């Protein structure tokens, strides 16, 4: 952990200091004076940021290996980034969630939007899964665990998967940091029980961001036949069954994810109305059409087809294809729910791609509802990446 005085880094004259002072949390490489001393700083170094006139602007985390060379931690130049500072940020985040949820199962920290850039924490009761996606917090995992312990989190898991850590020059070594964790953990949500694999599952083991969209589908689901494609551990399908759906078919390419979905259905008392089918989503949609299968609600919640700007066009084509293949499976009077977690695809572009796909399949793209991530995933208005999730409900 750094100690005062922190080293100093300085903005170039062409950098927009006003934008940073107004809350934009990132400083790019071409905005910072990068001399030999700065280039030699270890990734995650805590530093004092000055503007081009050498006026202090706050405390930042510097990583010369990243295109985002500095991340604003605190606009107070006197701030000290230590266990007490982390505890204060975590307490503020926990207090907000405590007003929103009855039980401590939620995203506790949503990176920049909670004042902890690059850090994601999902809380599962007394267990937390941390994703340290920036070098500064990867260096401060012990103080972070101490601060989490102070919130009543006894066990901490580090998830180091994903492309973001590689962009920061970090390794992919995860594991248990505090306490003992084994086996899937039951998580109550929307009237169902989900089984989350915190050690070997995707991301942090469960997608809390879709909670409100699961609830929207559940309200439509009474008596419905439901198809949940890219189901993961049964997010939409279990919520729909808890809401009174007649049946649900979960489709995913991952056998372990479907096993967890079946375990969740058993734990929820819903197994008698729940089926799974393993396979490629595109091929399965085509096969179901050949079987003349029809469902009252069809949900497609794929992984990010456009994880970067370079993949945007290919991602939009994939979203259009999903919409085209899914539309014929929707029974008359039914609903089609299409989701995107690609931050590189904005809402308007996603909406157009979905509408084009529905139209190509002979449907009418009547958009009934637009959903986003829940309030435990706050957004920064000037950082579009923080509002990545979109869920569109059509009556095609």
Q: Which residues are catalytic?
A: 341
d(CA 237, CA 281): 15
Residue with tokens 């924490």: 121
For residue 187, give every residue at least 6 positions away whose Cβ sits within 8 Å of its Cβ, in sequence order, or none: 105, 124, 193, 194, 195, 196, 206
The answer to whether 147 and 118 have CB atoms below 8 angstroms apart is: no
Give me the phi and psi of 138, to 5 degrees please. -65, -30
> Among 337, 257, 352, 345, which residue's Cα sits nearest to residue 305?
345
d(CA 307, CA 305): 6
Give me the phi and psi of 331, to 5 degrees please. -70, 155
d(CA 338, CA 4): 50
Burial class (CB in 10 A: 0-12, 13-18, 19+), 4: exposed
> Among 152, 233, 146, which residue's Cα sits nearest to residue 185?
233
Three-state SS at 114:
helix
Three-state SS at 37:
helix
DSSP secondary structure of 143-185: HHHHHHHTTT--EEEE---SHHHHHTT-----EEEES---S-E
């Amino acid at each position: 952990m750094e100690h005062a005085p922190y080293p100093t880094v300085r903005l170039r004259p062409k950098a927009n200091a006003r934008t940073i002072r107004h809350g934009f949390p990132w400083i790019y490489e071409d905005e910072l004076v990068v001399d030999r001393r700065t280039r030699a700083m270890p990734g995650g170094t805590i530093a004092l940021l000055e503007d081009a006139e050498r006026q202090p602007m706050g405390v930042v985390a510097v990583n010369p290996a990243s295109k985002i060379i500095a991340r604003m931690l605190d606009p107070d130049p006197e701030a000290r980034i230590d266990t007490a500072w982390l505890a204060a940020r975590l307490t503020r985040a926990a207090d907000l969630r405590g007003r929103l949820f009855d039980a401590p199962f939620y995203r506790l920290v949503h990176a920049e939007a909670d004042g902890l850039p690059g850090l994601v924490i999902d809380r599962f009761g007394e267990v937390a899964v941390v994703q340290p996606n920036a070098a500064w917090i990867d260096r401060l995992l012990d103080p972070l665990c101490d601060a989490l312990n102070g919130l009543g989190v006894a066990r901490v898991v580090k998830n180091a998967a994903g492309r973001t850590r590689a962009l920061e020059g970090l390794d992919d070594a995860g594991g248990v940091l505090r306490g003992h964790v084994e086996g899937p953990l039951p998580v109550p949500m929307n009237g169902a029980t989900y089984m989350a694999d915190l050690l070997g599952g995707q991301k942090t083991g469960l997608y809390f961001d879709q909670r409100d969209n699961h609830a929207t589908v559940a309200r439509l689901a009474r008596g419905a036949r439901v198809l949940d494609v890219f189901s993961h551990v049964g997010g939409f399908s279990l919520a729909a069954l808890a809401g009174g759906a007649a049946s649900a078919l979960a489709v995913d390419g991952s056998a372990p994810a479907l096993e967890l979905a079946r375990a969740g259905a058993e734990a929820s008392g819903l197994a008698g109305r729940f089926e799974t089918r393993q396979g490629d989503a595109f091929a399965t949609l085509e096969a179901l059409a050949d079987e003349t299968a029809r469902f009252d609600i069809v949900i497609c919640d794929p992984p990010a087809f456009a994880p970067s700007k370079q993949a945007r066009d290919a991602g939009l084509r994939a979203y259009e294809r999903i919409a085209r293949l899914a539309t014929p499976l929707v029974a008359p009077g039914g609903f089609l729910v299409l989701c995107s977690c690609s931050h590189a695809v904005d809402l308007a572009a996603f909406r157009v791609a979905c509408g084009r796909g529905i139209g190509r399949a002979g449907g009418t793209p009547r958009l009934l509802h637009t959903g986003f991530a829940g309030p435990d995933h706050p957004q920064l208005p000037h950082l579009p990446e923080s509002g990545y999730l979109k869920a569109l409900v059509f009556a095609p």
